[in-house]
Amino acid sequence: MQTQWDSVYAARTERITSSAIRELLKVTEQPEFISFAGGLPAPEVFPVAEVGEAINRILEERGQQALQYGATEGYLPLREWVARYMSGQGVPTSVENVLITTGSQQAIDLLGKVLLNEGDPVVVESPTYLAALQAWNIYGARYLPVPTDEWGMRTGGLQQLLAKRPKLLYCLPNFQNPTGATLSLSRRRRLIEQAADQGLPILEDDPYRELRFLGKQLPRLISLESARLEQHTAPYQGNVIYASTFSKVLAPGLRVGSIVAAPSLINRLVQAKQSSDLHTPTLNQMLVYELARDGFLERHTRLIIDVYRKRRDSMLTALAEHFPAETRWTEPEGGMFVWVTLPAPFEAARLLATAIEEKVAFVPGAPFHPGGGGDNTLRLNFSNATAEAIYEGIARLGAAAHRLMDTAVTA
């Protein structure tokens, strides 16, 4: 007898949905497509030669260790590097504070695994990173959405939500996915104060921080938390959990990220990670360490910034020239995304259908909204196509938007 697969799945799989981004990636892999859909870094700037040299060095010097199982916590020199880096950034960090993860996506998933009971409330920005919602839906999270604007999460209404005793607050302070917005300094301070009052854990998910093209870096939430605690010696003991990744400054295919958090939480996360994947691939961690330790990563980030700044500018120019006047969009100071709002009631999902005929793709904004809504919004990625292709793609998309709106007026 053949297994009836639909009848054997666990009940929790009913809450697993496919990521809108991952589904779109399948369509946009066709060569003539101009895709603004995935948050994919520019492959032209992947340091292929440097990676090759570093791998050879590692295999020569420590080949047997590189191919062996490793500690769940991560490769010690890389954890030490992260601890030194964060200490230099005003967060007294020791190795007990650091867990190496398989991308920051795993950080999000592990936190759901160890913190969330069925029905637990989680404060999230609206809109927010949809794959975090996808991860936490499995654990039965209930969302308390906070509206956002061009300065990020609107902290004014936060007090009321905190009265509902959330288990976790999720925040993307820099060049947010999907809006590109950066949380202002005054809101960062207010957020830390309010959360501290009730010992609420904050997940600061910060993959895009280093990709700043304009303006000044703002302090991390975890740095503000350290300052609030007046903690001058490691290990860091605060409520902020800081997730970072090498995906955007090095290469996402390596799947190496990190969590910095209080040691007791790190211990719990280590146990949860053991049953997920034992550890992040040893060779990849060694490789990241090799490229980070001698300053290459810093130089390489400057190159990425130059490339992305041009692409962002090309997108903003093309939007101004080709999109209907009633449309609004964000002007991010860094990162990879521009967020577009069509005049209601025009729906991004309908625009996508036309866009795909024109061989252009983007992610409609609705799935980023945990409480529903956002049908007239869309996310545009500007890192994965050349400045010329971006201009061409936005021109095509603008023409499709004009057509959508004109048809609606004459219908």
Binding mask 36-65 for ligand N5F (x = CB under 6 A): --xx--------------------------
Which tokens go with 35? 């895709």
Which tokens go with 397? 């998309």
Per CB under 6 A, which region of 18-26, 43-51, 136-144, 290-298 contacts ligand N5F?
Answer: 18-26
Contact residue for ligand N5F among 245, 341, 376, 377 (CB under 6 A): 245
Q: Which residues contact 338 (CB under 8 A, 6 or more apart)?
A: 180, 312, 315, 316, 319, 329, 330, 331, 332, 379, 380, 382
State which residue, 39 or 332, has the beta carbon closest to ligand N5F: 39
| Residue 122 CB, nearest approach to ligand N5F (Å) | 15
Binding mask 109-138 for ligand N5F (x = CB under 6 A): --------------------x---------
Q: Decide: is 35 part of the binding site for ligand N5F (CB under 6 A).
A: no
Q: Which residues contact 214 (CB under 8 A, 6 or more apart)?
A: 309, 333, 334
Neighbours of 56 (CB within 10 A): 11
Spatial contact of 276 and 110, defined as CB atoms under 8 Å apart: yes
Contact residue for ligand N5F among 104, 126, 239, 314 (CB under 6 A): 104
Per CB under 6 A, which region of 3-11, 101-109, 148-156, 342-350 contacts ligand N5F?
Answer: 101-109
Q: Decide: is 247 part of the binding site for ligand N5F (CB under 6 A).
A: yes
Which tokens go with 21? 């981004």
Per CB under 6 A, which region of 103-111, 160-168, 188-196, 403-411 contacts ligand N5F?
Answer: 103-111
Per CB under 6 A, which region of 98-106, 226-234, 366-374, 403-411 contacts ligand N5F?
Answer: 98-106
Spatial contact of 118 and 138, defined as CB atoms under 8 Å apart: no
Spatial contact of 159 and 123, defined as CB atoms under 8 Å apart: no
Spatial contact of 206 and 334, defined as CB atoms under 8 Å apart: no
Neighbours of 143 (CB within 10 A): 19
Binding mask 156-185 for ligand N5F (x = CB under 6 A): ----------------x----x--------
Q: What is the DSSP letter of 334?
A: B
| Residue 104 CB, nearest approach to ligand N5F (Å) | 4
Q: Decide: is 97 part of the binding site for ligand N5F (CB under 6 A).
A: no
> Given strand 240-245, what is the order of strands in its sheet?
98-101, 257-260, 240-245, 202-205, 168-171, 121-126, 142-149, 152-153
Contact residue for ligand N5F among 72, 93, 97, 105 (CB under 6 A): 105
| Residue 21 CB, nearest approach to ligand N5F (Å) | 5
Residues near ligand N5F (CB under 6 A)? 19, 21-22, 25, 38-39, 103-105, 129, 172, 177, 205, 207, 245, 247, 252, 257
